[in-house]
Amino acid sequence: MPPSDIALIGLGVMGQNLALNMARHGYRVAVFNRTASVTERFLHERLAGEPIEGAPTLADLTRRLSRPRKLLLMVKAGGPVDAVISELRPHLEPGDIVIDGGNSHFLDTARREEELAAAGLKFIGAGVSGGEEGALRGPSIMPGGPREAYEAVAGILTAIAARAPDGSPCVAYLGPKGAGHYVKMVHNGIEYAVMQLIAETYDLLGRGLRIPTAELAGLFAEWNRGELSSFLIEITARVLAHPDPESGRPLVEAIRDEAEQKGTGRWTVQDSLDLGVAIPTIGAAVEARILSSMKQERTAASQVIQATARRPRRSQAHVEDARNALICGLVCAYAQGMALLRAASAAHAFGIDLAETARIWRAGCIIRAAMLEEIRAAFARQPSLPNLLLHGAFRDQVREREASWRRAANLMIECGLPAPATTASLAYFDAYRAERLPANLIQALRDYFGAHTYRRVDREGTFHTDWTEGGPGTRENTPRNS
């Protein structure tokens, strides 16, 4: 029996579908799962004739592979990844390549690459997005690590990746160390923001304007045929149209309003704070999930805290305002994500190409959208573009919809509907375009209580004032950090 081209460890649904994807593109795949019955069931149920074989142990798995060995891990992030690597190391030799296809934290990926490099092994952290269907039919793949390691597996990754409308594969080398997992982390942060913006729009149209859920399904389907065309808008329409088999009513209405999270959105916000990059739409989406999880407390509060809110009459103008607000919010979400990638690329020496990042997000991944082709083109033409809001096409899109955006946000507030991502997006837009912000007062207050100093608009230097009545006044100071 000829040796296998690649091994896959971890036969969850994603792992199974990736194995099938590779096999269907002509690669021989050896698979292993810690629970042997899972491997046996997978091999029994898969379609006949596919070049996939099971291995009872990791030692046996490595013996089945051609050199240099290539092993793809599809296991839970954190300790399980380290555990599998530890068990594999005695059976590997210099030049072998380990790929982590899970949602690992980028710093863990950088550490693992360094540790394995000391033993002559190569490590790739590859973000994989697309869910179960994407894993089988073609995901968006975001690899980072040693370039020579990527080149050795590029043929396999390119073969199984999604294809964008122009036919290009949605995979690209993104940079050293944890670059691939960093890009996947930010992808997921944008995903949080997009879903929250969609949910707030659904809430305004449903609870605010009293549009029936079945009708909303048709509305989102219509929106998906225009500028909002995207995977998440498409499946929103499908979800809203899906009936509950027991009651016949829309199933979404029977689902508890508690959104879970696995941590990648939180990681995105945490690193943005470390880098000093504002991503308020993404942050608001993470906090909205936290608030949603407080179901019991929220239910109790609803009985004792009464809000003054109005329910306006439905109008086509209100619906159009909601659509425009959603478009503007999405622009801000992508703008924030790309700004964070730019800052992180510089801080961590990743060398991330933002145009390439947008290119490989155009198909396969959860945040794929028609808007990403415009984003790709913007960064291809202006690689040093600091923010999407400064690019002509996006600047014009927002300018044309600004008044409508404000009306929708105001309507959400008047209806008493929580809209953290929509309002955070608008605040981000207003702050980013503001020549002057009220931070002058904040700096004066900091100087008052902590002598933190300030700078003036009319001359150079750093100053401190004794703000108490009768104090000695203002004096120039040496800069201090605070």
Beta bridge partner(s), residue 142: 127
Task: Residue 408: give its domain's CATH number.
Answer: 1.10.1040.10
Q: Per residue in 427-436, is it b (16+ CB within 10 Å) or e — as a string?
A: bbbeeeeeee
Among 429, 339, 318, 419, smallest CA distance to 384 is for: 339
Per-residue pLDDT of the chain (482 residues; tens, 9 = 90+): 789 999 999 999 999 999 999 999 999 999 999 999 999 999 988 766 789 999 999 999 999 999 999 999 999 999 999 999 999 999 999 999 999 999 999 999 999 999 999 999 999 999 999 998 999 999 999 999 999 999 999 999 999 999 999 999 999 999 999 999 999 999 999 999 999 999 999 999 999 999 999 999 999 999 999 999 999 999 999 999 999 999 999 999 999 998 988 889 999 999 999 999 999 999 999 999 999 999 999 999 999 998 888 888 899 999 999 999 999 999 999 999 999 999 999 999 999 999 999 999 999 999 999 999 999 999 999 999 999 999 999 999 999 999 999 999 999 999 999 999 999 999 999 999 999 999 999 999 999 999 999 999 999 999 999 998 776 777 777 554 44
Task: Residue 163: give its domain's CATH number.
Answer: 3.40.50.720
Residue that finishes a domain, picked among 162, 177, 192:
177
Compute the distance between CA of residue 291 and CA of residue 295 in angstroms, rounded to an integer. Answer: 8
Are 426 and 445 members of one domain? no
Q: Which of 191, 234, 287, 374 is catalytic?
A: 191
Give burial (CB, 10 Å; 0-12/13-18/19+) of 454.
middle
CB count in 10 Å sphere of residue 446: 15
Q: Which of 70, 122, 177, 184 is catalytic?
A: 184
pLDDT at 310: 82
Contact 141, 164 (CB under 8 A): no
* Amino acid in position 319: V
pLDDT at 263: 84
The length of the chain in residues reads 482
Compute the distance between CA of residue 171 and CA of residue 190 in angstroms, rounded to an integer. Answer: 18
* 44 domain-assigned: yes
Compute the distance between CA of residue 14 and CA of residue 139 in angstroms, rounded to an integer. Answer: 10
Are 115 and 224 members of one domain? no
Are 415 and 462 members of one domain? no
* 155 domain-assigned: yes
Q: Parallel, antiparallel, or unpaired: how do β-strands 52-54 and 29-32 relate?
A: parallel
Active-site residue flag, 177: no
3-state secondary structure 127-158: EEECHHHHHHHCCEEEEECCHHHHHHHHHHHH
Residue that finishes a domain, picked among 123, 156, 177:
177
Are 190 and 170 members of one domain? no
pLDDT at 48: 64
Task: Residue 450: give its domain's CATH number.
Answer: 1.20.5.320
The range of the structural domain enclosing residue 324 comes to: 184-432
Query: Where does 399-446 show beta strands of DSSP type E?
Result: none
Are 298 and 447 members of one domain? no
pLDDT at 304: 94
Active-site residue flag, 476: no
pLDDT at 478: 53
- The pair of structure tokens assigned to 275 is 């880098």
The number of domains in the chain is 3
Are 395 and 453 members of one domain? no
Are 192 and 94 members of one domain? no
